[in-house]
Structure 1
Amino acid sequence: MISVTQARKILSENTERAGVKIISLEESLDLHLAKDIYSPIDVPSFDNSAMDGYTMEYDGSRKEWDLGEIIQAGDTSRQKVVAGTAARIFTGAKMPEGTNTVIPQELIQRDEHLGKIYYDLDQIKPGSNVRLKGSQCREGELILAKGTVITPGVIGLLASVGIVEVEIYAPPTVGYIITGDELKEVGTKLIEGEIYNSNGPMLTALLKKAGIRVISGYKASDDKEKLQQIINEALETRNVVILSGGISVGDYDFVKECLENAGVNELFYKIKQRPGKPMFAGKKGEKFIFALPGNPASVLSCFNMYVKPCLQYMQGLENVWKPNKILPLPLEQKKKPGFTFFLKARREGEKISILGGQQSFNLQAFSTANCLVELEEEKDLIEEGTLVNVYDL
């Protein structure tokens, strides 16, 4: 049995980046860039109007102008405004030669009969309301760093510089196997001695939230031969395999033996932690295998503390093993020495609240928890105000 620190170190040393591939911008949401991106053009590529109004060569002294051209957005003709005249211009339209300022239409008084416009000198300054060429980014400028998650805003930025394809870390494909004859699917009627399979839907949600797109779910009975077949199938078709249940030492806990039979090399088995002590991690070639305890709260805790960081690193994230916050413990906590405890908690800004219902079978607290608080291994009493590691869920 190893410590939490040792488990993290082993996993970090054995996790590699996923493969890289090029995909269309439309398909890239929530994935991570595999290389730095430099703008291929200036944006804007020309000086343009920031609003609807009137444009002229303004020096701050003249308040009366004759009306000239009308310039619409998308007009690509090489227009030039005659000295002493103002052109009607619309948002996004190219600034014509001989102009440097746009006065918003709401600040203008217009004399249709004389064909002139007037305005208050105190309300406008030379150069106002013009988007200058390259004010967003210059050609050759770094606009996105390797590892950046692709959000809708990132997609908008890339589209604005004309990029239609991106190089990303391909998310690993994942298969999960739920074990246990007592588990029944949600929507069926239970008889005494049966429970609903909450781990399957929960793992699907956790994997989707972690950026995984190809997910296969399997259900295995407490039959060694059938479990072996399912494990072999999952290992053949998926990059990462996760099991829940059957990893302890009961008469029907066949997972560890079946993994050994499948050629999985053990990285570690059992961690000095609660919940989730009987956790297994291994590899077969480049494939990762995690066997988690069957208790739902243990699955959630172990996934977030070990599986998720590995999946994140594969997809290009950095610093995946570091806590999100280090905050003072709000209340004294007693625990068994020799084990790291992960407590379900809620964080509001810089304050945390430890929730009730910390048992490994109890999912109630996870309905409101948004973080896990880590209590160090050696102590049996963690005093109020002690700084603790906090991991966002």
Structure 2
Amino acid sequence: MNEFIEVPKAKELLKGLAISPKNTQVTLSQALGRFTASPVLAPMNVPSFDNSGMDGYAFSWEDLGESRKLAQVVQAGANPDFNLEKGAAVRIFTGAPIPKGADTVVQQEWVDVVGDTVFFELAKLTQGMNVRKAGSQCQEGELILNSGTLITPGTIGLLASLGIEQVGVFDAPKVSVILTGDEILEIGQTLQPGQIYNANGPALMAYLSQLGIDKVEVLKVRDEKSEVSRVIGEALESSGIVLLTGGISVGDYDFVKGSLEENGVQQLFYKVKQKPGKPIFAGIKGEKLVFALPGNPASVLTCFIQYVKPCLLRLLGNPNAWTSPVYYPIAADFNKKAPLTFFLKAKLENNRAVVLPAQESFNLLSFGEADGILEIPEMQEHLEEGSLVAFYPW
């Protein structure tokens, strides 16, 4: 396959993959933020009984007159096993079952109680008011959630109201993150000349966690060809997604591309006409996805947002994984000469996209205030203030 493809072409190749999300059952406490893998039907009527929507007095509309004798009290959670006598009313509370023989509830603010008699004005009332009928929310067998529905706190409340303990969702894939580079040192260790701290690992772990992916293994590999090939092979055995950082360029110690080929990974594309992050590799082995990202942290996050994140969202069942970005007016004129797509660290101010300083691929300083990344298309050399630009939030 030709090298240096355009950004839209790279995305089209990934969109066209036959990715098959996996299904699993989880408890409600584990379901937040996941997407339903199949339609959910109501296993019961809700409410399961006629109940009062107000604190007030329940009576039969067919009885004559604007007064009723107060008979009993029915609280929420009670099980009234009596028939309401003609001309009687019961004191009732919100959520309490409507006793047999009653069909209307007048709220307590609209009555006068004198001794054991309740007085009200029929002209203000309608038959059946303030009675929540059985099945008025949903009936047994009714569709309550479509496949691909995001499970929110409200969704969990709905499922719990139906007594549903578990729900089928799209399973989060297991991800292996392979960090290359002998110069990489873990936080807490003392840097020696020529060494840098590991920023890519924590950044990717944070992003994966934000997406709800918790099955992640992080592997550090030495810059030795046999070791790189071995670790890639083990990751392909254990994970559905393999992410590598560094070692994908053409230097003497860049062994990733050759090692991927040795392990039977089929190349989708290698090198994209963009800045930062030109040396990015995407490939497949069976249904497993492999992304070899550059080593510089800004390039890693740019490539993750543009290519890896949508694929992960698709595997998580998100129907909008590849939706269009949000567009904002750019806050100032912008010029570029290189025929590349630019991805720039940016923040939003007054509903405008501000290009931040420190755009070099090694420089993370702007990430301290960036809200996301904006895109300048490959063939666009000049943007005037106020021109709309695509913006990808974190």
For residue 23 of structure 2, the aligned residue among 15, 20, 23 is 20
Let me know the Cα RMSD of the aligned residues.
Answer: 2.4
1:252 — aligned with what?
Answer: 253
For residue 52 of structure 2, the aligned residue among 46, 49, 54 is 49
The change in CA–CA distance for 1:128 and 1:359 in structure 2 (over 3 A counts) is farther
TM-score, with structure 1 as normaliser: 0.91
Which stretch of the first structure deviates more once superposed, 155-164 or 5-14? 155-164
Give the residue type in structure 2 aligned to 1:234.
Answer: A
2:143 — aligned with what?
Answer: 142
- Residue pairs, 1:340-379, within 5 angstroms: 340-347=341-348, 350-379=351-380
Post-superposition CA distance 1:2-61 (Å, at most 9, x none): 000010011111251222233333332322111122323332122211233322235899
The change in CA–CA distance for 1:245 and 1:58 in structure 2 (over 3 A counts) is same
Post-superposition CA distance 1:359-382 (Å, at most 9, x none): 212223223322321111112112
Give the deviation of 1:341 after TM superposition. Answer: 1.0
1:32 — aligned with what?
Answer: 35
- Residue pairs, 1:1-393, within 5 angstroms: 1-58=4-61, 63-105=66-108, 108-111=111-114, 114-118=115-119, 126-347=127-348, 350-393=351-394
How many residues were matched structurally?
391
Give the deviation of 1:213 after TM superposition. Answer: 2.3
The change in CA–CA distance for 1:213 and 1:79 in structure 2 (over 3 A counts) is farther
Could you tell me which runs of 5 or more consecutive residues in structure 1 were left unpaired when the two chains were aligned: none
2:50/2:131 contact within 8 Å kept? yes
Which stretch of the first structure deviates more once superposed, 99-108 or 283-292? 99-108
Give the match's secondary structure for 2:16: helix
Distance 2:385 2:285 in 1: 44
The change in CA–CA distance for 1:60 and 1:354 in structure 2 (over 3 A counts) is farther
Give the deviation of 1:120 after TM superposition. Answer: 7.0
Which stretch of the first structure deviates more once superposed, 29-38 or 1-10? 29-38
Give the deviation of 1:270 after TM superposition. Answer: 0.5
Give the residue type in structure 1 aligned to 2:278.
Answer: K
Which stretch of the first structure deviates more once superposed, 368-377 or 95-104? 95-104
2:171/2:316 contact within 8 Å kept? yes
1:30/1:150 contact within 8 Å kept? yes
* Amino-acid identity (%): 46
Which stretch of the first structure deviates more once superposed, 323-332 or 344-353? 344-353
Which stretch of the first structure deviates more once superposed, 184-193 or 123-132? 123-132
1:17/1:316 contact within 8 Å kept? no
Post-superposition CA distance 1:54-102 (Å, at most 9, x none): 2223589965432112212233344332232221112211112333333
Distance 2:103 2:367 in 1: 59
Which stretch of the first structure deviates more once superposed, 316-325 or 72-81? 72-81
The change in CA–CA distance for 1:70 and 1:290 in structure 2 (over 3 A counts) is same
Distance 2:189 2:110 in 1: 68
1:17/1:169 contact within 8 Å kept? no
The change in CA–CA distance for 1:71 and 1:181 in structure 2 (over 3 A counts) is same
2:282/2:290 contact within 8 Å kept? yes
Give the residue type in structure 1 aligned to 2:14.
Answer: L
Could you tell me which runs of 5 or more consecutive residues in structure 2 were left unpaired when the two chains were aligned: none
Which stretch of the first structure deviates more once superposed, 52-61 or 178-187? 52-61
Distance 1:135 1:87 in 2: 23
The change in CA–CA distance for 1:80 and 1:392 in structure 2 (over 3 A counts) is farther
Which stretch of the first structure deviates more once superposed, 329-338 or 254-263? 329-338
Give the deviation of 1:209 after TM superposition. Answer: 1.4
Distance 2:67 2:80 in 1: 26
Give the residue type in structure 2 aligned to 1:167.
Answer: G
Give the match's secondary structure for 1:271: coil
Distance 1:378 1:209 in 2: 33
Give the match's secondary structure for 1:259: helix
2:346/2:370 contact within 8 Å kept? yes
Distance 1:290 1:319 in 2: 21
Give the match's secondary structure for 1:242: strand
Give the match's secondary structure for 1:14: coil
Give the residue type in structure 2 aligned to 1:95.
Answer: I
The change in CA–CA distance for 1:60 and 1:205 in structure 2 (over 3 A counts) is farther
